[in-house]
Structure 1
Amino acid sequence: ENPKDFVVGADTVVVIDGKILGKPKNEMDAEKMLKSLSGKSHEVITAYTLINLEKNIKITNSVESTVYFKSISDEEIKWYIESGEPMDKAGAYGIQGLGSIFVDKIDGDFFAIMGFPINHFIKTLNNLKIPIESLNKI
């Protein structure tokens, strides 16, 4: 519909023990996810695509980071699920919100874990000589 405009899409998944965790289906699913992450490290992968049909631009990249969780008690999991925060987050937690209390450390890009690797995205634009002002309609 808008071949002259830049369009960006992105999504994030959590991977633990080879299993991809998207958003929980319900509270029981969130509890299961959080218990599986407790006391372990996991990967967070955020992928993005930038398209401009008129300029024949299609860029797809991903950024992977490692997050290390402390051991989480059942009481903490219950409290967190009752907050409602995990229900729309990959892996059932948001590192930028209340879920941050579960994180011991990260190796990688905090913003990619949050959901969009802005620094990586801007570097990609710079490498392709796409001026940031071109993106005003995103």
Structure 2
Amino acid sequence: MYLSRIILGSRSPRRNELLSQLLPETQIEIVPPADPEEPGFESLHGLDAIQQQLISICTAKNEDVFKQMQAAGNDSVPILTADTIVVVKRESVGLVVLGQPPATSDWQETVRDWFLNDYAGQTHQVLTGVCLRVNQRIMIQTAETQVTFYDQAYIRARLDWYLSTQESRGKAGGYAIQGAGSIFVNRIEGSLSNVVGLPLETVFEMLNHSQTV
């Protein structure tokens, strides 16, 4: 795999850190999408619809960054974009995508509800859509990881402490598996880096494939 330069279309420092495990930091240029607004998942409760929305979001991010590069007269550099979501299952409605906790003062109550009712003793999904543009060709992949939390008694005994760390704020699903949130995880099946925000296994294969076509 050889790339002299790649653009990461993301505001996430975690994605930058992860990508720099595959490529030297000197080859990575950060160009966030100009439009921070993204469509939501509120009315979507089926896996196919959720995955299609996820792909649409990461593709739109890529197109946004591509237009910026076109305007700058440099549209030949590969562009990588991604979006990660947490999906839980609720008996009343089916699948639900959990976003970031609200920015209001009652954010802790939202996270508490997620941990005790959506996560405790259950398995949830973390999905990432990845979009790579190379020489006007767009490659799209999705990665899925199953994350299982410990039971409710275990979580109750530690949740007040975790909320006091405020790690949940700004995190999709209200926890960081690479941080203190890892104490709640009993088992994961699939890519760990996917849960952090960028599935390195998927990205590695996409970058390799891009060099052979």
> Taking structure 1 as the reference length, what is the TM-score of the superposition?
0.84
Residue equivalent to 1:136: none
Any residues of structure 2 matched to 1:19-98 within 5 Å, and which? 19-25=96-102, 26-35=107-116, 36-52=118-134, 55-71=135-151, 72-98=154-180
Q: Which protein has greater RCO, CA pairs closer than 8 Å, 6+ apart?
A: 1
Distance 1:12 1:111 in 2: 11
Whether the 8 Å CA contact 1:51–1:59 is kept in 2: the answer is: yes
Whether the 8 Å CA contact 1:64–1:108 is kept in 2: the answer is: yes
User: Which is further off, 97-106 or 84-93?
Assistant: 84-93
Pick the structure with more strand per residue. Answer: 1
Asked whether 1:7 is paired with 2:79, we answer yes
Deviations 1:25-52 (A, max 9, x none): 1222211211221111111101121224
Residue equivalent to 2:3: none
Asked whether 1:117 is paired with 2:189, we answer no
Whether the 8 Å CA contact 1:11–1:46 is kept in 2: the answer is: yes
Distance 2:211 2:80 in 1: 17
Whether the 8 Å CA contact 1:30–1:87 is kept in 2: the answer is: no
User: Which is further off, 1-10 or 93-102?
Assistant: 1-10
Deviations 1:85-122 (A, max 9, x none): 11121111111110000001111001111110112111
**Structure 1 unaligned blocks of 5 or more:** 131-138
Sort the Cα spacing of 1:103 and 1:73 in 2 relative to 1 into closer, same or farther, 3 A.
Answer: closer
SS in 1 for 2:144: strand
Whether the 8 Å CA contact 1:45–1:62 is kept in 2: the answer is: yes
SS in 2 for 1:116: coil
Deviations 1:61-87 (A, max 9, x none): 110010110024334222111101111
> Taking structure 2 as the reference length, what is the TM-score of the superposition?
0.56
Q: Superposition RMSD on alpha carbons, in Å?
A: 1.5
1:8 counterpart letter in structure 2: L
1:8 offset after TM fit, Å? 1.8
**Aligned sequence identity (%):** 29
Q: How many residues align?
A: 128
1:7 offset after TM fit, Å? 2.1
User: Which is further off, 115-124 or 75-84?
Assistant: 75-84
